[in-house]
Amino acid sequence: MTAATESSSLGAPESVTRRADETTAGAGRGDWRALATQPLLVAVGVLAFVLWRANATLTETEARQLGWTALWTGIREHLLLTVASAVIVLLIAVPLGIALTRRPLRRFSPLISGIANTGQAAPAIGLFVLLATWLGFGFGTTVVALVVYAALPVLRNTMVGIQGVDPRLVEAGRGMGMSAAAVLFRVELPLAVPVVLAGVRTALVLLVGTATLATFIDGGGLGVLINTGITLSLDSLLVSGAVLVALLALAVDWLGRVVEHVARPKGL
């Protein structure tokens, strides 16, 4: 018996699993290393593109399309589309996901999941065109289409994250006199945060990619570059657009990972 080493009065055989934190601290360092390589990759990519752009011999059309201001406009529009849709997705999908795990609405959750799944299985371009014929061309319609398309992962992960919380913890919370709302905000949501954020990151990456389709309904963004490259058979434009979108997606994904890392509740 470890009576001498344990300050607990009868805690003898239990002293074994005490220090789990050293191992997690190690894992933490590993996570940070992975987090550090991704922005490096993006930086290298950006540098390579800038060097190429500064030194390549381009035709007049190419040079106009790949002018620094034109590029910057494209990137800004693309980011604006992404961020605006992401914010709206968060505002809609998270509360909806929460509501669908509450008792009165729980029975609708398979139905809504089904609809959302079908929605995402439909080709994105079809959704864009369909919405454009209904709502007209432009930024607003693009955002609506993006929101519809990217809501699913957030909605699904919010539901899955909350459903994944050990029901005994919910019961323990209610059993000690926490209200249903208190259990939701102090237990269920904090524990669901990692899963919800993973869904948000997926949605963000999806948004960056899908926003390239905005060009087809006059929504702007980097898709313009790609589309022009295709119609005019200018590979430099096409590849530049694709590379920039990929770099943007990587950067956004990295930001998402950082947020996930920071927002993850301690003790898990």
89 close to 203: Cβ distance less than 8 angstroms: yes
Query: Minimum distance between the CB of residue 11 and other proteins, rounded to whole angstroms?
Result: 6
Based on CB atoms, which residue is closest to other proteins, 178 or 259?
178
Measured over the CA atoms of residue 234, residue 225, residue 228 and residue 211, the dihedral's sign is: positive
Query: Minimum distance between the CB of residue 91 and other proteins, rounded to whole angstroms?
Result: 25
Query: Minimum distance between the CB of residue 62 and other proteins, rounded to whole angstroms?
Result: 54
Based on CB atoms, which residue is closest to other proteins, 123 or 267?
267
Based on CB atoms, which residue is closest to other proteins, 136 or 265?
265
Residues binding other proteins (CB under 8 A): 1-5, 7-21, 168-169, 171-179, 182, 186-187, 190-191, 265-268
174 close to 180: Cβ distance less than 8 angstroms: yes
User: In which element (H, E) is residue 132 found?
Assistant: helix 124-135
Contacts of 153 (CB under 8 A, 6+ apart): 199, 200, 202, 203, 206
Based on CB atoms, which residue is closest to other proteins, 7 or 69?
7
Query: Minimum distance between the CB of residue 181 and other proteins, rounded to whole angstroms?
Result: 10
Contacts of 221 (CB under 8 A, 6+ apart): 74, 77, 78, 81, 211, 212, 214, 215
